[in-house]
């Protein structure tokens, strides 16, 4: 089953600071989520019930899965030192 991808408005700001190589790696992982929304390296975030974390180098993709609508909603794409402070 293929999921569609939606981005929260703040993600646009998150993407502006990324290098081209990091940006390509991040989008490659996001595209892969369409077919497999829970890859083996994704972890559910403690205390944030519905959010998952996916590692891409020093960056983290924070997302949720809406199984009823078959949608993956990307909340943040941030550096590992910043991502958990602003949630």
Is residue 73 a part of any domain in this protein? yes
pLDDT tens readout for residues 9-30:
999 999 998 999 999 999 999 9
Residue 57 lies in a domain: yes
Q: Which domain holds residue 28?
A: 4-79
Question: Does some domain include residue 87?
Answer: no
What CATH code is carried by the domain that includes residue 17? 3.30.2310.20
Express each pLDDT in 28-67 by its tens digit: 999 999 999 999 999 999 887 889 999 999 999 999 999 9
Instruction: Give the Cα-Cα-Cα angle 15, 37, 5 (nearest 5 degrees).
Output: 45
Q: For the chain, what percent of residues have pLDDT higher than 90?
A: 82
Give the count of domains, the chain. Answer: 1
Three-state secondary structure along the chain? CCCEEEECCHHHHHHHCCCHHHHHHHHHHHHHHCCCCCCCCCEECCCCCCEEEEEECCEEEEEEEECCCCEEEEEEEEECCCCCCCC
Residue 41 within a domain = yes
Give domain status of residue 86, yes or no: no
> What is the model's pTM?
0.90
Residue 85, domain member (yes or no) = no
Is residue 11 included in any domain, yes or no?
yes
Looking at the domain assignment, is residue 75 inside a domain? Answer: yes
Q: Quick one: CA dihedral 46, 48, 51, 54, positive or negative? A: negative
């Amino acid at each position: 089953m293929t999921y569609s991808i939606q981005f929260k408005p703040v993600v646009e700001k998150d993407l502006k600071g990324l290098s081209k190589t990091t940006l390509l790696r991040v989008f490659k992982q996001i595209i892969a989520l369409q077919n497999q929304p829970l890859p083996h390296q994704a972890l559910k975030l403690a205390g944030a019930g519905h959010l998952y974390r996916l590692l891409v180098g020093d960056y983290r993709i924070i997302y949720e899965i809406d199984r009823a609508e078959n949608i993956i909603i990307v909340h943040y794409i941030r550096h590992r030192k910043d991502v958990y402070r602003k949630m």
